[in-house]
Amino acid sequence: MAITLTKEQLIHEIAIIDRRQKGTVFSPGIIGKILGHPQSWRSLKKDELIQVLETWNHLLQSCPKTANWQTVERGDRRVSLLADGQPWVDYFGFPSRPSAETFLAQVLPHCDWAIVRKSGKRVNASFECKVWGLTEDYCPAVGPQRLAVCTR
């Protein structure tokens, strides 16, 4: 990302990403994960906005470049996308935004990135938590308490 962008341009870029993902990509929890202190992205300084956007862009650049994508349904409330057999992103379904946001707070330490948004076509729920890079060791802890579908 070019450092020559103004703070307003950086804020505009975040708004575009949120619209594209149809959710809050830069939640206070994610900001805390990146910068060490949770806060609204709107209150960030220009250099912090740059760091947050660079981290997002790094995540996108690490997306596997493959034609071998597989969708694995792990129940009606969890779907995983695998690239060449390796998990890339998981979708967890919830009946309400508060329940999805509670899950988001619990899963953030165990993943690369996560967002809450209205559910799309992947899970049978009103809201979903889209999670990139969920660690294998955390996955079993999610299942029995929350969804009973977390097996890899």
Is residue 86 very low, low, confident or very high in pLDDT (cuts 50, 70, 90)?
Answer: confident
**Residue 138 lies in domain:** 69-147
3-state class (DSSP) for residue 130: strand
Check whether residue 45 and residue 107 sit in a common domain: no
Instruction: Evaluate if residue 97 carries a pLDDT over 70.
Output: yes
Contact 49, 14 (CB under 8 A): yes
| Residue 152 located in a structural domain | no
Q: Is 58 exposed, middle or buried (0-12, 13-18, 19+ CB in 10 A)?
A: exposed
Residue 11, pLDDT score = 93
Check whether residue 91 and residue 118 sit in a common domain: yes
Please name the residues in contact with 14: beta carbons below 8 A apart, sequence gap of 6 or more.
Answer: 25, 26, 41, 49, 52, 53
| Residue 1 located in a structural domain | no
Classify the C-alpha dihedral 60-65-66-67 as positive or negative.
Answer: positive
Check whether residue 92 and residue 51 sit in a common domain: no
Residue 77, pLDDT score = 86
Check whether residue 77 and residue 108 sit in a common domain: yes
Check whether residue 56 and residue 74 sit in a common domain: no
3-state class (DSSP) for residue 131: strand
Check whether residue 90 and residue 135 sit in a common domain: yes
Count of structural domains within the chain: 2
Residue 128, pLDDT score = 92
Confirm whether pTM is higher than 0.95: no
